Amino acid sequence: MKTIGLDIGTTTICGILIDSQSGELLESHTHSNDSGILDSPPWEKCQDPQQILAICQSILDEFSEKNNDILSIGITGQMHGIVYLDATGCPVSPLYTWQDDRGNQIFSDSDTYASYLTRITGYPMATGYGLTTHFYMLQNHLIPKKAAVICTIHDYITMSLTNASAPFVHASDAASFGLFNVDQNTFDATALQRAGMDASILPCVTTDSVPLGRTPDGIFVSVAIGDNQASFLGSVCDPDSILVNVGTSSQISARVHGVFATDGIERRPYVGDDKICVGSPLCGGYSYAILKNFFAQAAQLFGEEVSDLYQIMDASAQEIYPAKEPLMVETRFKGTRENPHLRGRIENISPDNLTPGHLCLGVLQGICDELFSLYQKIPLYQEEAAYGAGLFSLIACGQFSSLQEAQNKIRYQ
């Protein structure tokens, strides 16, 4: 038998086919997530949920055309963002992604929408968090009239595949909306009341790996899980390992025990009663993309079109590594969740190091430095995301009796 893991990312959507007995990766497909909605203000970051569904269905069809022994589908995807659904489970809004900047708009003389929520609830709320976006929509009377519930994009996909009318959201995703009590695995009713939010808009929450239903072909579909948690589940051999991901953003994650509070580090639900702590710079690979766009514009300025820019940038950085006199680059180009007004900077510039190669190397080092600074805050008792989602689905449909059994039997290679 086989299982499918599907990861709905911000820029790409990845699907992989796994042998459910050996864990062997049999096949993979990655499609561009070109669902962005462009006719909106630049600070709004929205995607079309129906187009995302079509891309996901296309990937699933590619697998099912050649395989008739697929047992289950596990789904993960971009956290924090929300889509509004009506009472029948149909989307009545775009997907407001984690990159959406509504929360950083001015709410009052001294607050943005996000900082106001933080101040009155005591929870650290940032722009892009689902309930920050919902608060903005609520205050500006923009909630769709037929909206009955909110969920993540991957929850909507699981519903569509199983013809469900209401979402069932894993705690790993629910916590990403904000105003969520991680120890009780529930939304904080008092915080919601302070913010003037009706709890009826929130989905049902579970901490378990459970099957939600079957596709028309009889394939189990499990409850979706947050991409950070799925990546950790699908990557680490030792549960006390540190996991580093660099995508559009970046993350450093570790499993933790007990309660702690550290600036810049979130404590998130994992699987069952376990928790992980996470540091999440807003600009991971996006920092390198910004630099690539700079070089592309520079080339156009001189009437040139350059292909394979990333390969050229990598080679130029490799050529001078390690740099004798490096550029010091801070890659906080979009600030941090705690302080969105921070910006990047370049220091230690000299006549000898103001070169494209030094700049490429400096940005790469800056990405690593920001992650390392967060790593130092983590308590010492400390295609992968799609794999973790597929593994999660095998637990949900009873292929394994426990998380430990699954991790002992199958490991991403």
pLDDT tens, residue by residue, 222-254 = 999 999 899 888 888 776 788 898 888 898 998
Dihedrals φ, ψ of 325, to 5°? -135, 80
Distance CA(336)–CA(156), nearest Å, equals 28
- The reported pLDDT for the residue numbered 40 is 79
Distance CA(202)–CA(150), nearest Å, equals 6
Contact indicator for 223, 147 with CB cutoff of 8 Å = no
- The reported pLDDT for the residue numbered 381 is 42
Q: Give pLDDT < 50 ranges for the chain.
A: 381-382, 412-413
Helix (H, G, I), strand (E, B) or coil at 345: strand
- The reported pLDDT for the residue numbered 52 is 97
Helix axes 309-320, 356-375, angle to 10 degrees: 80
* Residue 287 neighbours by CB distance under 10 Å: 27
pLDDT in tens, 80-117: 999 999 999 999 999 999 999 999 999 998 899 999 99
Class of the domain covering 241-381: alpha beta
Say if residue 65 is exposed, middle or buried (CB neighbours under 10 Å; 0-12, 13-18, 19+).
exposed
Q: What's the predicted TM-score (pTM) here?
A: 0.79
- The reported pLDDT for the residue numbered 413 is 46
Locate tokens 């101040």: which residue? 119
- The reported pLDDT for the residue numbered 408 is 64
Distance CA(73)–CA(2), nearest Å, equals 9
Compute the Cα dihedral for 297, 299, 301, 305 and give only its sign.
negative
CA-based radius of gyration for the chain: 22
CATH 3.40.1440.10 fits 2-231+383-409, yes or no: no
- The reported pLDDT for the residue numbered 338 is 80
How many angstroms separate the Cα of 205 from the Cα of each of 177, 184, 283, 351?
12, 11, 30, 57
How many angstroms separate the Cα of 260 from the Cα of each of 81, 182, 263, 382, 407?
26, 12, 10, 12, 27
Tokens coding 28: 């993979």
- The reported pLDDT for the residue numbered 233 is 86
All CATH 3.30.420.40 domain ranges of the chain, comma separated, are: 2-231+383-409, 241-381
Longest Cα–Cα distance in the chain: 66
- The reported pLDDT for the residue numbered 41 is 84
- The reported pLDDT for the residue numbered 220 is 93
Contact indicator for 75, 137 with CB cutoff of 8 Å = no
Q: What is the mean pLDDT of the chain?
A: 90
Q: What b/e string do you get for 314-342 counting C-beta neighbours within 10 Å, with b at 16 or more?
A: eebbeebeebeeebebbbbbbbbbeebee
- List 255's β-bridge partners, or say none: 276
Peptide bond into 239 cis (omega under 30): no
Q: Which residues contact 302 (CB under 8 A, 6 or more apart)?
A: none
- The reported pLDDT for the residue numbered 254 is 87
Looking from the CA of 187 toward its CB, the CA atoms found within 13 Å total: 24
Contact indicator for 207, 273 with CB cutoff of 8 Å = yes
